[in-house]
């Protein structure tokens, strides 16, 4: 299983989103996602998230929360465990990303973006501050979400 991270930086009712438009052969081309990437050898999820945020944004995260783990099953792409984070404090100067365009998006407007269907599920969980750490399993056939389970229980699609 591939191990990845995804982090949503939160500020003034907005999330920092990455519009994936610059990378060739990108499974998420033209989608909006948080920032993150693949774990390297001997790297913990926290270390990966911190490194990926720095590489993609130029920012150093000072305060973050590990919010959940998402299991992706696909008939097209390798299966993956994605470690999901939110960050509330950082320092540094935001810079351009070579994988897409970074933009602060109001949380009320997130669901107007071109998102993966599974991302819509976990973004709602992230926005619910009462939601504890969660485990979400998403099954895709091609680009279509066909099944979702939250903490082992099926979710309606």
Cα–Cα distances (Å) from 81 to 68, 75, 135, 136, in that order, read 10, 15, 10, 10
* pLDDT tens for each residue of 94-150: 999 999 999 999 999 999 999 999 999 999 999 998 888 999 999 999 999 999 999
User: Do 57 and 97 touch, CB atoms closer than 8 A?
Assistant: yes
Nearest residue to 146 (alpha-carbon basis) of 134, 131, 157, 135: 157
What ranges in the chain are assigned the alpha helix state H?
Answer: 45-57, 117-127
Domains of the chain by start residue, with CATH? 2-154 (3.90.79.10)
Instruction: Report the alpha-carbon distance of residue 70 to residue 76 in Å, rounded.
Output: 17
Does position 49 have pLDDT exceeding 90, yes or no? yes
pLDDT at 110: 97
* pLDDT tens for each residue of 7-44: 999 999 999 999 999 988 888 889 999 999 999 999 99
Does position 152 have pLDDT exceeding 90, yes or no? yes
Does position 68 have pLDDT exceeding 90, yes or no? yes
Q: Would you state the structure tokens that stand for residue 120, as one six-digit string?
A: 């819509």
Instruction: Report the alpha-carbon distance of residue 17 to residue 128 in Å, rounded.
Output: 18
User: Do 75 and 142 touch, CB atoms closer than 8 A?
Assistant: yes
> If you average pLDDT over every residue of the chain, what do you get?
96
Cα-trace Rg, the chain: 15
């Amino acid at each position: 299983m591939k191990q990845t991270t995804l982090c949503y930086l939160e500020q003034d009712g907005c999330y920092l989103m990455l519009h994936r438009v610059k990378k060739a052969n990108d499974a998420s081309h033209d989608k909006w996602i948080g920032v993150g990437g693949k774990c390297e050898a001997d790297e913990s999820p926290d270390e990966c998230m911190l490194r990926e945020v720095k590489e993609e944004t130029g920012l150093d995260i000072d305060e973050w929360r590990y919010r959940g783990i998402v299991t992706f099953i696909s008939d097209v792409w390798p299966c993956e465990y994605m470690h999901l984070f939110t960050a509330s404090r950082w320092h540094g100067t935001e810079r351009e990303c070579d994988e897409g365009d970074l933009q602060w998006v109001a949380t009320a407007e997130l669901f107007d973006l071109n998102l993966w269907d599974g991302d819509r599920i976990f973004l709602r969980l992230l926005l619910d501050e009462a939601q504890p750490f969660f485990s979400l399993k998403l099954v895709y056939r091609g680009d279509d979400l066909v099944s979702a389970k939250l903490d082992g229980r099926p979710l309606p699609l």
